[in-house]
Amino acid sequence: MKFKFWGVRGSIPSPGPRTARYGGNTTCIEVRSDNDTLIIIDGGTGLFSLAQSLIQDKSKPIHANIFITHSHWDHIHGLPFFTPLFIRGSRVRLHGVTDPVTGNGIEHVMGVQLQNSYFPVSETQMDATIEYQTLEIDQPVQVGDALVRNVVMNHPVTDLGYRIECGGRSVFFTGDHEPHYNIHPPGHPEHDAYARWMAQRNAAIDAVVQGVDALIVDCSYTREEYPAKQGWGHGTFDSAFELALRCGVKALYCTHHEPTRGDDELEAVFADVMARHAPLLGGLQVFLAYEGMEVELT
């Protein structure tokens, strides 16, 4: 199994010379199983570049399984520009969770974007076979020779983290995730109950992350930046290291880079957190994700 990053920025695309080394496209990760089943996690702007790569191979039709972590723009706004949607013989299956507030399934994500007010081509004009699969929380899905498991992360909308397993190897992506914190101060009548709920949620997440070969985590903020961003639904480099070490993963990939942070600043932040955690890492390998980075799990 292998995976490749096609978009590593968070919140909004940030192209330009300051982000040229790590890339300015938003979240999109390509995963290939042992038998070459194509699984795509999230449809940010990096999805367009992935599409252009896919259509270069004319020898076989494109069959893509896209798993959406959540419906915020930076994770879906590449979907209408996924070129295989316009190619006859292609098959695109979109997976995601039902919004518990509205009751809308994953098909609503595509339907909203393809409204005439926002996009000039309707789904009926697309030549591919398009399918929708609404996922059940905590229920695994078999995709080719890969098994995809999910768990609810912590974000202002329902966000699924995905674990993909194949041939004894595994990768997990958090989507957008902020470590749980108690919203009630000590002494509040609901503080203890909320603490118990947090412990249950953290245990569920840790169980799915446990022992993965590759852990890909939302590392939007530094520990100094985080207090002003609390409640926004994003994590820090430090919280990502804590998750990786706690769950005994083999390698950590830091992604969802803050869009205002240029490459030089990103490397400086990463160097600082690596230096602080160096005595704790043991065998954990840590990488700063960049567009085009490809990893083969062996």
275-286: per-residue pLDDT in tens?
Answer: 999 999 999 999
Domain boundaries, the chain: 2-296
Angle (nearest 5°) at CA 29 between 24 and 33 = 155
pLDDT confidence band for 101 (50 / 70 / 90): confident
pTM value is 0.96
pLDDT confidence of residue 100: 84
Instruction: Provide the CA 108 distance to its chain's centre, in angstroms.
Output: 19
Is 83 in a helix, a strand, or coil? helix
Residues pairing with 231 in the sheet: none
Angle (nearest 5°) at CA 206 between 201 and 207 = 100
pLDDT confidence of residue 59: 87
Give the tens place of pLDDT for each residue, 204-225. Answer: 999 999 999 999 999 999 999 9
Number of residues in the chain: 298
Give the tens place of pLDDT for each residue, 227-261. Answer: 999 999 999 999 999 999 999 999 999 999 999 99
* DSSP conformation class of 123: G
| For residue 82, pLDDT beyond 90 | yes
| For residue 296, pLDDT beyond 90 | yes
Using CA atoms in the order 98, 212, 36, 133, what is the torsion angle rounded to 10 degrees? -10
Q: Is the Cα dihedral 67, 71, 77, 80 positive or negative?
A: positive
Please give the share of the chain, as a percent, with pLDDT higher than 90. Answer: 89
Q: What is the mean pLDDT of residues 80-99?
A: 95
Q: Which CATH number fits domain 2-296: 2.60.40.10, 3.20.20.70, 2.60.40.1180, 3.60.15.10?
A: 3.60.15.10
